Structure 1
Amino acid sequence: MKIDLDYIIKTFEDLVKIPSPSGYTEEAMAYVKNEFENLGVKFFTTNKGAVYGVIDGEDNDQSILLTSHVDTLGAMVLDIKDNGRLKLASVGGFAWGSIEGENALVHTDSGKVYSGSLLPEKASVHIFAEASEERKEENMEIRLDNDVRSAKETRGLGIEVGDFVSFDPRFMLTENGYVKSRHIDDKICVAIQLGLCKALIEAKEKPKYQTYFYIANYEEIGHGLYHIPENCTEVIAVDIGTVGGTNTSSEKAVTIFAKDSSTPYDYGIKKTMVELCKTKDIPYRVDIARRYGSDASAALRQGKDVRTACIGPGVDSTHHYERTHKDGILASANLVMAYLLRK
């Protein structure tokens, strides 16, 4: 079955340009629901705002759940300083130095959005001998692109503590197939899930089992998957592989995780997926993630009686300015499709 890679890349580009730090995902979820509707996929929304797409299988007594997440790293306004600049609290796990100099948007409760930049308090080497000091929450701030010089003036814009802050993804697709952007984790895999739905619907194919296409909205902060249908026996996280260091993952292959920081994944599913890659000539790597968890392992920590796996395209510089490749994206989509259609 042919996967529409151009559709996946375009869907990712659309999604990654929609700000959606954990807790502020309504617009991104509306996009996902609209895509499910356009594709003709049944869907429903959980009380906490996650979205399930559902495609019937040859066997509906048993189901498989694929999970990806639309929420990203971001921040919230922690304090409005006397000089009118903003101190932040992080949303999700990132190093402050990884977003230094990035353009940012402040999303107010009134709906007004203000632009700014994330900088260290002592940014200029022409002024501060300490300009090279460690970047941490205490010494980073948002410089607003407005004429504000006091906390009163900033509050006059309607900005308050608790407002969400998102960072410019800086999406780029290179001529040789590299995809560069913040928040590849995990919007590329949301796009892959939608691409799988598109392929199944257009080919009028049914997966082996009823399949839930779950799009989470709180994964980056640890509670993305919190509702699993009673007939579900497997949870497969379609998430990113981690490229770098001694890890085996590659940007041009699908990563099949054997283990993450909390648990081994199901041995039988891993073996089946490896065999499918070999049989269908899908480039793959088996890897172990040392500082990583997925919604599949979160399901196990909740005591769910499900078998689990975690697979996805290899991504370089995760939780920084990330990069992957079309080959790894397609390999991931092909592996999941092969698993869903296996006899």
Structure 2
Amino acid sequence: MNEYLNYILDNIVNLSNIPSPSGYTNKAISYIEKIVKELCINYTITNKGSLIATIEGKNSKYQRTVSAHIDTLGAMVKKIKNNGRISFDKIGGYMLNSIEGENCIIETCDGKQYTGTVVTTKPSVHIHSDAGQIERKLENMEIIIDEKVNDDKDVVNLGIEIGDFIFFDTRTQITKSGFIKSRHLDDKASAGILLGTIKYIVENNIPLPYTTNFYFTNYEEVGHGAAASIPENTVEFIAVDMGAPGEGQNSSEYSVCICAKDSHGPYDYSLRCKLVNLCKEKSIDYRIDIYPHYGSDASTALRSGYDIKTALIGPGVFASHGYERTHKDAILNTTKLLAEYLYLNS
């Protein structure tokens, strides 16, 4: 898999630079669709707009499905204020201080784009003595548009309306030391891993024991990504999403992280053991962890009533739902585990 690492990283960078907050994912799905077509893989696009690519295996009655979500955090225009600034509402769960001072783009329904900056309502220490103390909550946050506007009428005349999407600058970069830094590595990193895995299987003509579905979901951040459309013969479902390293956690930015339990409860024990044993047998650097404030497409699928075994794996991503960071070692270890699992005839 090492020779496919640059391909995976290129896709992570490209996907990170395609805005795709939940509800606005067509462009990211189109990017994936183009790659799947080039690799001559059969695929379907669901009514909700997600994409499922399928590689046939020897056994089609017992299928595996692996997912990554391409929707991200973002925002929407909530109100156009009398002073020409914009109040916004969040898409997904993140701390408001993590976007303070961030550049953004507002896109109108007719495709016009306007740049702006996220600030507090008291952004200057030279004016506001309590600039540092003001609570970072939606009522105290706003976006200043990079246009000459004085009031709400000027903003409306630009074509901006309530409900327009707001994209945050991802500031994506890869350092010489192998770190990938960007917003939305949750879960663009995993989407890149799935694309690399598909390319590796196709180009090397690797036979799979079971028909495998690669499910790129598009509403995970708002809780219903894999709530529907999982192929009916799926027996095992693995969500490839981020691991969460940090204080009190066992996860690492350099490893594939295997989640034993999240806020919705334990994942399937036998499937977790299968993945751990593969890591041991193939010398893949791994960590097992528990995430108390976490949910995934796999847990969503279970809540929706699917009778499947589920697991959650992914690269360790530091500072989740903020300006995130992982390392190419975690990307490679996750890719290796995913590939070894798909080859496994059991």
Normalised by the length of structure 1, the TM-score is 0.99
Map 1:254-333 onto structure 2 (within 5 A).
254-333=256-335
Which amino acid is the alignment partner of residue 27 of structure 2?
Answer: E
User: How far 1:73 sits from its partner (Å)?
Assistant: 0.1
Residues 107 and 113 in structure 2, CA contact (< 8 A), matched pair in contact too: yes
SS in 2 for 1:119: strand
Question: Which position in structure 1 is the counterpart of 2:157?
Answer: 156
- What RMSD, in angstroms, separates the aligned Cα atoms of the two structures? 0.8
Distance of 1:124 and 1:301 partners within structure 2: 46
Alpha-carbon deviations, 1:269-310, whole Å to 9, x = none? 111111110111100000001100000011111111000000
Report the Cα distance in structure 2 between the residues aligned to 1:118 and 1:235, rounded to whole angstroms: 38
Amino acid corresponding to residue 194 of structure 1 in structure 2: L
CA–CA distance in structure 1, aligned partners of residues 232 and 69 of structure 2:
21
Q: In structure 2, how many angstroms separate the alpha carbons of the residues matched to 1:102 and 1:39?
A: 37
The residue identity in structure 2 corresponding to 1:341 is Y
Shift of 1:124: 0.3
Q: Do the aligned residues in 2 keep the contact of 1:3 with 1:334 (CA within 8 Å)?
A: no
Which letter maps to 1:178? F
1:15 aligns with 2:27: no
Corresponding residue of 1:188: 189
Quote the residue 1:47 is aligned against. Answer: 47
Give the match's secondary structure for 1:255.
Answer: strand
The residue number in structure 2 matching 1:72 is 72
Q: Distance in 2 between matches of 1:42 and 1:11?
A: 20
Residue type at the aligned position of 2:281 = T
Q: Report the counterpart of residue 144 of structure 2 in structure 1.
A: 143
CA shift for structure 1 position 149: 1.0
> Which residue matches 1:109?
109
- Whether 1:202 and 2:195 are equivalent positions in the alignment is no
How many aligned residue pairs are there?
A: 343
Give the drift of 1:41: 1.3
Q: State the SS of the aligned residue for 2:244.
A: strand
* Distance in 2 (alpha carbons) for counterparts of 1:44 and 1:72: 21
SS in 2 for 1:211: strand
2:100: which partner in 1?
100
3-state SS, counterpart of residue 237 of structure 2: strand
Contact 1:3 1:333 in 2 (8 A): no
Matched, 1:173 2:174: yes
Shift of 1:230: 1.3
In 1: Cα distance, 2:332 partner to 2:171 partner: 22
**Aligned partner of residue 315 in structure 1, secondary structure:** coil
- One-letter amino acid of the counterpart of residue 154, structure 1: V
Task: Report SS of the residue matched to 1:27.
Answer: helix
| Partner residue in 2 for 1:227 | 229
- 1:139-193 deviations in Å (ceiling 9; x for gaps): 1001100000100000000000000001000001010100000000001101100
Q: Which stretches of structure 1, 4 residues or longer, exceed 6 Å deviation after superposition?
A: none
Distance 2:98 2:312 in 1: 26
> Is the contact made by 1:55 and 1:206 (CA closer than 8 Å) also made in structure 2?
no
Residue 206 of structure 1: CA displacement? 2.0
TM-superposed deviation, 1:325 = 0.2
Provide the rounded CA distance (Å) in 1 between the counterparts of 2:205 and 2:184. Answer: 32
CA distance in 1: counterparts of 2:165 and 2:19, whole angstroms:
10
Counterpart of 2:207 in structure 1: which amino acid? K
Answer yes or no: is the 8 Å Cα contact 2:2–2:332 preserved in 1: no
In structure 1, how many angstroms separate the alpha carbons of the residues matched to 2:100 and 2:12? 24
**How far, CA to CA, are the matches of 1:331 and 1:3 in structure 2?**
13
- The unaligned stretches of length 5 or more in structure 1 are none
Local SS of the residue matching 2:317: strand
**How far is the alpha carbon of 1:82 from its aligned partner?**
0.3
SS in 1 for 2:265: coil
Question: Matched residues in 1 for 2:208 and 2:119: separation?
Answer: 49
State the identity as a percent. 48
The separation in 1 between residues aligned to 2:70 and 2:17, in whole angstroms, is 12
Displacement after TM superposition at 1:61 (Å): 1.5
Q: CA deviation at 1:2?
A: 5.2
Asked whether 1:81 is paired with 2:81, we answer yes
Structure 2: distance between partners of 1:70 and 1:228: 16
